[in-house]
Amino acid sequence: MRKQPLVSAIVSVYNSERCIRGKIEDLLNQTIVDNLEIIIVNSDSKENEEEIIQEYTVAYPNIIYLRTEERETIYKAWNRGIKISKGKYITNANADDRLKMDAFEVLVNVLEKDNNIALVYANQYISNIPNEKFNEIKTKKKWIIPQFDYFVQLDRCVVLSQPMWRSSLHFEDNIWFDENLEICGDHKFVLKIQKKYSIRYLQSVLGTFYVDKKRTNRSLNNLKYLEIEKTNMTSNFICHYINTIDEKNLWVIKKMFTCKVVLPIPILRGLNIIKNIVLPNKHQFTHEFVYYVYILICMRLGEYGKALYYSNKLLKRKDSARIKLLKEKIITKIN
């Protein structure tokens, strides 16, 4: 009988032969390894991960291995692993990322001390070297991200790739990863959590994020697809937020964004670039998000003429499917 683990780490692999051994060793070197369950889901990889993984399953009873008959999204693989997990806490362990030896211990301590926190994450060093261990990294370049804020999260996923969360989110709250998404499933997962629970960001660095120099990372090699999936996924969350917040906060956002929409769009984008350099820890809202939110506010306040004006202004510069939909609704209201 398997020992009840404290943490279940879900590893999804597809064509990851060059890094899977290092990933498993990295997990086995965690300070809480005696309370760790490792679930590896092979999404019908065409490489030879299976032979390497089976070396470890023989020696380590806390490693569970699954293989699917066809390739599936990473979020479907994570859900598959989570459904058979036994840990009090869950974490995704990407095959090409690495951890500080006490990373899981630190994250667990945060969750154990505060029951109001449902998910915790820390900063990461950025590595361009495959299989570079945490204690070997030389660049010390890390992400520059703002503190977690739900409104910012509506525009950008600020939670990095090595979070830890309570398994009760799945088994009690029925919050799962959207298996139809290819890139933004973790972004959506966090937005669903934040509706009910708190999220904590630790500024300390507890892991590494591997960025291939050829930008083969799924989230980096097709930024246009990423933007489309993100805007489609976040639209309902944004609409719900704008339509349910109190009037005081609604007017705060309107005032903040009025200063942006009155500017010519090229100037707004240029200012964002400058502010990202001068104020790297402060999120600069993307111009499409600014217009989408502002138009929704105008619609809530019954200012349909103004909403139509800013819809047209944005669409002259950028093709936005969700603002086109708003424009259709505005025209129907006006007519």
Q: What is the mean pLDDT of residues 114-143?
A: 93
What burial class does residue 39 get, using C-beta atoms within 10 Å of its C-beta: 0-12 exposed, 13-18 middle, 19+ buried? buried
Give me the phi and psi of 73, to 5 degrees please.
Answer: -65, 155
Q: Is the pLDDT of residue 133 over 60?
A: yes
d(CA 206, CA 227): 28
pLDDT greater than 70 at residue 216:
no
Q: How far is CA 49 from CA 15, 46, 53, 318, in A?
A: 8, 9, 6, 43
pLDDT value for 301:
97
Give, for 7, the enclosing helix (H) or strand (E): strand 7-13
How does pLDDT run across 218-263, given as a tens digit for each residue?
A: 555 577 889 999 999 999 999 999 999 999 999 999 999 999 999 9
Q: What percent of the chain has pLDDT over 90?
A: 89
pLDDT at 145 exceeding the cut of 90: no
pLDDT of residue 235: 97
The answer to whether 7 and 88 have CB atoms below 8 angstroms apart is yes
Full strand arrangement of the beta sheet holding 89-92: 63-67, 36-42, 7-13, 89-92, 164-166, 117-127, 198-210, 98-99
> What mean pLDDT comes out for the span 102-110?
98
Secondary structure tally for the chain: helices H, strands E: 13, 8
Please say if the pLDDT value at position 215 is more than 70. Answer: no
pLDDT score recorded for residue 227: 92
164 and 82 Cβ atoms separated by less than 8 Å: no
Q: What would the pLDDT profile of 251-281 be if each residue is shown by its tens digit?
A: 999 999 999 999 999 999 999 999 989 988 8
- List every span in the chain annotated with CATH 3.90.550.10: 7-210
Position 187 confidence tier, pLDDT thresholds 50, 70, 90: very high
Query: Which CATH number is 7-210's, of 3.40.50.150, 3.90.550.10, 1.10.340.30, 3.30.70.100?
Result: 3.90.550.10
Please give the pLDDT value at position 119. 98
Model confidence pLDDT, tens digit, residues 296-308 = 999 999 999 999 9
Average pLDDT for residues 34-45, to the nearest whole number? 96
Structure tokens at 134: 């945490």
